[in-house]
Amino acid sequence: MEWQAYLDREQDRFVGELIDLVKIPSISAKPEHADDVAAAGEWVASKLKSIGIENVAVMPTAGHPVVYGDWLHAPEGSPTIMIYGHFDVQPAEPMELWTKPPFEPEIRDGLLYGRGASDDKGGMMVPIVAVEALMATTGRLPVNVKFFFEGQEEIASPDLPPFVEENRERLAADMIFSADGLQWDADTPQLIMGLKGIVSLEVVVTGPDADQHSGLRGAGIANPAMGLAQVLATMKSPDGRVTVEGFYDDVEPLSEQDRQAIARVPFDEATFLAETGAPAAVGEPGFSTLERLWARPTLDVNGLTSGWQGAGTKTIVPAVASAKITCRLVADQSPERIFDLIRDHVERVLPEGLRAEVNKLPGRGDPLLVPHGHNATAVAATVLEEVYGKTPYQTRVGGSIPVMNTLLEVLGVHPVMFGFQHGDEKMHSPNEFFRLSAFRRGQTAYVRLLESLAV
Amino acid sequence: MEWQAYLDREQDRFVGELIDLVKIPSISAKPEHADDVAAAGEWVASKLKSIGIENVAVMPTAGHPVVYGDWLHAPEGSPTIMIYGHFDVQPAEPMELWTKPPFEPEIRDGLLYGRGASDDKGGMMVPIVAVEALMATTGRLPVNVKFFFEGQEEIASPDLPPFVEENRERLAADMIFSADGLQWDADTPQLIMGLKGIVSLEVVVTGPDADQHSGLRGAGIANPAMGLAQVLATMKSPDGRVTVEGFYDDVEPLSEQDRQAIARVPFDEATFLAETGAPAAVGEPGFSTLERLWARPTLDVNGLTSGWQGAGTKTIVPAVASAKITCRLVADQSPERIFDLIRDHVERVLPEGLRAEVNKLPGRGDPLLVPHGHNATAVAATVLEEVYGKTPYQTRVGGSIPVMNTLLEVLGVHPVMFGFQHGDEKMHSPNEFFRLSAFRRGQTAYVRLLESLAV
């Protein structure tokens, strides 16, 4: 049987296996779900073993585990390919906005709904079942393959740098393909030439040592919730420019060539607004939306917490107010320097009568740009053009995958994003879904990729 | 037996009864505690019946119930006195800051700890047991007494105006004394000559229709959490002055005489800071802390909610951000006009790409000032001087008791604050307590008050 026929015949089973994997609530950000992350890792390891992958191991890190497995019997001179993905997922809140519970996946109209269905459980199953098809129909693979799947991508892979360092030889590869990537749309492939970096932190403003009666005490002391708002408001102008002093100092300006390349990619603002539900596309002045999304740094408040959040009113001056913040960074900004700038900024602008702390949170990554003329990227381009019948756009992504930097720095190989998810699939939001058509097409692409690399 | 001896002999039982009442978690702000508020009302009604009060009734309102009871057999020509209090309490959060659970009251060093021990379950038990002592030792009262206790003071008595209106005849009184009041300190009485008004609202800022991936979408849309911070920051300058346009327009300036009266009252800023734990006493420039607390309006953020509030990071642009706000008002500010000013202000300053709603919350009250030369206040002054051996200070309170305005407006009687709580008793905060010494002294004061009013 040919691998294409095998993939067609077994597709329903593959979808069922993906559903089983999505059912595991492997939320890496929540300590109480650590066992679920481990369970998802065990599930993946078991699947790898079942298709003939060797040396499969669930390997501990200081945090969530890693799953490794390989098949290294290709003819002498064949390249060794690493395939990367992750089996952890984002938290599912706000739960009330899900049409169906996030960990009870179901298919509607050819779309598989569930937290992680797209990012990245669906994505990582694509190369696994592609390899299964080759192994089942030919008993071998065209190249040496190493699978490297992790369980902490959604918290920015804090324990991966030492892990990759310590397992440098085991992980060594000639090329790295990441199954945590996106295509432009259901019909159009893309080559992702850049990812943003990220730095994560929280600002905690305190005043009184307990909540105070706003009538009896409030007028005499500073209010931490108002103080936090005042501090945050100094970080970004209402028109969208970040106003933390020095924030843009290390940003490499967009060249005219860069801007033309971005302008060649079709972008429909009306669709973008319909997908987000936002009333307008706004952001840093002087740049198009696509330039902002791909090539300009941002500062976002991800969450606010203070005082009374229940029904009605509680007449207090809260003791504490805090904000979670992430900045998306572009070359050549450094997460450490941006953190320092924000910490210094908070100290400078904090109103009298309050105290503030700025704490690092897990989640840091350098920005990443793929060099032009990169070998693995060229192979990926050929396969994508064959599978989609179109030349891929050269794009960037506003998201961050810190482990990509780790792989580049430690293994000396520039990873290629080779994933079949799409930006409209509500990753990180309620009602996340994955297109089953892309699941199937990605499998063909991965088989063709491995075949193309054979000596 | 004299009433003093009776009070001394029965004091332990009275404290036990107060403990029983504090055990009922009658949190009026939380719908799930509505039955507990009603249970507290039933407890109070039962107590009133047991001491010989007549026409006791738990009366429904559109929200939490009211408890009424009277004894109207004083000699012809005797005045009719209303005694007011409330049996509902503030929410107990943040729970983790309580040394012992808030609804498991216990006595330590002569202080009774528990949510509501001071505000106002302890306060309202004072006149009840004072009346019990008179009824038990003399079989009668020196004047006609009407008890009027409510279960929604902590949510600003939203259903009391129509209730008082509909029960105008039943509630008619010559003088009104509120057992929800404060003395200056454990040794010094005060006459409270003013209360602040209040208006309660929330600002809800929305952007995208669901949380968005901050990397894939964030740079292209406005962030509701940042937008909320920017809106709030325009409402108050970092030095503490409210900057909502028109906010101070209706404020009656403090006269030189007012400022001198306030300056005569001792106020120790170091103690104030030690009690609050705040690093500095700050507020509207140009006024002393006591002037700010008593006679200047405020705008406070009571709570903030947006996006991810759990451990670690969630890389989203949240769909919604909201702030709960209360303003404490002084004569002649109107809650309705201040609400309108804030709503207009939010519309004016909202950054592009966001939507905002400003919603009224339960909790409104006009500011209140006691007229100089008021009859019941003069009687209260005499009794307080006798019981404490000191001339009471003439003070104001930054808190708000909207029902006081209702009683004034509907019944035409100016209520007198005659309560024996103290400002340091962590009302509305964790580890609220009530001084048992004040519980006992207040009982003597209430008996003397009623005796003083006899014809």
Q: Which of A178, A130, A101, A117 is nearest to A8 (CA)?
A: A130
Residue B427 token pair: 């009302």
Q: Which residues contact B228 (CB under 8 A, 6 or more apart)?
A: A229, A304, B203, B205, B304, B306, B321, B322, B323
The mean pLDDT value for B178-194 works out to 91
Question: Inter-chain contact A93–B308, Cβ cutoff 8 Å?
Answer: yes
- B99 at the A interface (CB within 8 A)? no
pLDDT in tens, B314-326: 999 999 999 999 9
A91 at the B interface (CB within 8 A)?
yes
Number of H helices, E strands in chain A: 13, 18
Q: What count of residues does chain B have? A: 455
The answer to whether residue A286 neighbours chain B at the CB level (below 8 Å) is: no
Q: For residue range B218-260, what is the model confidence (pLDDT) as tens digits?
A: 999 999 999 999 999 999 999 999 999 999 999 989 888 889 8
Q: Answer yes or no: is pLDDT of A151 > 90.
A: yes
Q: Do B428 and A315 touch (CB under 8 A)?
A: yes
The predicted pLDDT at position B194 comes to 87
- B398: nearest CA partner in chain A: A215
Mean pLDDT of chain A: 95
Of B207, B233, B361, which is closest to A313 when you measure between CB atoms? B361
DSSP annotation string for B310-338: SSS---EE-SEEEEEEEEEE-TT--HHHH
Inter-chain residue contact A353 with B310, CB threshold 8 Å: no
pLDDT value, residue A365: 85
pLDDT at B422: 92
Tell me which chain A residues have a C-beta less than 8 angstroms from the C-beta of B310: 29-30, 91, 93
Mean predicted confidence (pLDDT) in B136-145: 98
> Is A31 at the interface with chain B, CB within 8 A?
yes
B289 confidence band (pLDDT: 50, 70, 90): very high
Is the CB of A97 inside 8 Å of chain B's CB atoms?
yes
Confidence of residue B50 (pLDDT cuts 50, 70, 90): very high
Burial of A13 (0-12, 13-18, 19+ CB in 10 A): exposed
The shortest CB-CB distance from A276 to any of B221, B300, B324 is to: B221
Asked if B398 lies within 8 A of A423 by C-beta distance, the reply is no
Q: Chain centroid to CA A10: how far?
A: 29
Do residue A313 and residue B155 have CB atoms under 8 angstroms apart? yes
* Mean pLDDT of the region B365-393: 91
Render pLDDT for B398-433 as a digit per residue (tens, 0 to 9): 887 778 889 998 999 999 999 999 988 999 899 999
A296 interfaces chain B, CB cutoff of 8 Å: yes
Whats the size of chain A, residue-wise?
Answer: 455
Lowest mean pLDDT among A110-124, A146-160, B364-378: B364-378
Q: Cβ A277–B210 below 8 Å, yes or no? A: yes
What value does the mean pLDDT take over residues A64-91? Answer: 97
Question: For position B216, what pLDDT does the model report?
Answer: 85
Are domains A3-195+368-452 and A197-251+297-365 of this chain identical in fold?
Answer: no
Work out the average pLDDT over A75-96: 96
Please answer yes or no on whether A238 and B314 come within 8 Å at the CB atom: no
Q: Is the pLDDT score of A71 beyond 90?
A: yes
Quote the minimal CA–CA distance from A309 to chain B in Å: 6
Would you state the pLDDT for residue A368?
87
Residue B370 corresponds to which tokens in the numbers above?
A: 């006691």
User: A218-253, pLDDT tens digit by residue?
Assistant: 999 999 999 999 999 999 999 999 999 999 999 989
> A303 to each of A321, B36, B224, B310, how far by Cα in Å?
11, 33, 10, 9
pLDDT reported for residue A208: 97
Cβ pairs bridging A and B (under 8 Å): 400
Q: Does B413 touch chain A (CB under 8 A)?
A: no
Query: Which pLDDT value is given to residue A255?
Result: 86
Task: Work out the average pLDDT over A184-203.
Answer: 92
Query: On the CB side of A317, how many CA atoms lie within 13 Å of its CA?
Result: 34
Predicted pLDDT of residue B397: 83
Quick one: average pLDDT of B78-101?
96
Residues with Cβ within 8 Å of A337's Cβ and at least 6 positions away in sequence, in order, are A250
Handedness of CA B301, B303, B307, B309 (dihedral sign): positive
Q: Does B220 touch chain A (CB under 8 A)?
A: yes
Domain B197-251+297-365 grouped into CATH 3.30.70.360: yes
- Over residues B132-136, the mean pLDDT reads 98
Of A216 and B357, the structure prediction assigns the larger pLDDT to B357
- Under 8 Å CB-to-CB from B201, ≥6 apart: which residues? B324, B325, B326, B339, B342, B343, B358, B359, B360, B361
Q: Would the CB atoms of B301 and A289 count as touching at under 8 Å?
A: no
Q: Left if phi > 0, otherwise alpha if psi is -120 to 50, otherwise beta: which for A427? A: beta
Q: Is the pLDDT of residue A177 over 90?
A: yes
For chain B, the domains span: 3-195+368-452, 197-251+297-365
Average of per-residue pLDDT across A137-152:
98
pLDDT tier, A193 (very low <50, low <70, confident <90, very high otherwise): confident
Given a contact cutoff of 8 angstroms between Cβ atoms, the answer to whether B318 and B162 are in contact is no
Chain centroid, CA B279 distance in Å? 25
Tell me the backbone φ, ψ of residue A165, rounded to 5 degrees.
-60, -45
Residue with tokens 């002569």: B110
Q: Looking at residue B424, what is its pLDDT?
A: 87
User: Which residue of chain A comes nearest to B288, CA vs CA?
Assistant: A220
Work out the minimum CA distance from B88 to partner chain A, whole angstroms. 13
Q: Are the beta carbons of A302 and B399 separated by less than 8 Å?
A: no
Residue B95, classified by CB atoms within 10 Å of its CB into exposed (0-12), middle (13-18) or buried (19+), is exposed
Tens digit of pLDDT for each residue in A249-290?
Answer: 999 898 888 898 899 899 999 999 999 999 999 999 999 999
Helices B335-349, B224-233: crossing angle, 10 deg rounding: 120
d(CA B205, CA B223): 9
Query: Is residue B371 over pLDDT 90?
Result: no
Beta strands in A267-354 (DSSP E): 298-307, 316-317, 320-329
What gap in Å lies between CA A453 and CA A440, rounded to an integer? Answer: 21
**B358: which strand partners?**
B203
The single residue listed with the structure tokens 């943040």 is B94
Percent of chain A with pLDDT over 70: 100
- The four Cα atoms A96, A98, A101, A107 give a dihedral, to 10 degrees, of 170
Residue A245: predicted pLDDT? 97
The whole-angstrom distance between A9's CA and the closest CA on chain B is 35
d(CA A414, CA A412): 7
Mean of the pLDDT values across residues B107-116? 97
Would you say residue A118 has pLDDT above 90? yes
Chosen for mutation from B182, B199, B301 (greatest number of chain A CBs closer than 10 Å) is B301
Nearest CB among A97, A230, A293 relative to B238 is that of A230
Of B94, B156, B289, the CB nearest to A220: B289
Instruction: Please report the pLDDT score of residue A400 as a whole number.
Output: 74
Mean pLDDT of chain B: 95
Nearest CA in chain A to B31: A311
For residue B382 the two structure tokens come to: 């005499």
> Nearest 5°: CA angle at B206, between B322 and A263?
140
C-beta atoms of B310 and A155 within 8 A:
no
As a CATH number, domain B3-195+368-452 is 3.40.630.10
Label residue A423 by pLDDT band (50, 70, 90).
Answer: confident
Q: What six digits make up the tokens of B55?
A: 């026409």
- Answer positive or negative: Cα dihedral of A292, A294, A297, A299: positive
Contacts of B223 in chain A (CB under 8 A): 300-301
Chain B interface mutation, best of A155, A302, A361, A368, highest count of B Cβ atoms under 10 Å = A302
Token digits for B405? 């305005």
- In which band, very low, low, confident or very high, does the pLDDT at B108 lie, cut at 50, 70 and 90? very high
> In this predicted structure, what is the pLDDT of residue A88?
98
Are B102 and B428 in contact, with CB atoms under 8 Å apart? no
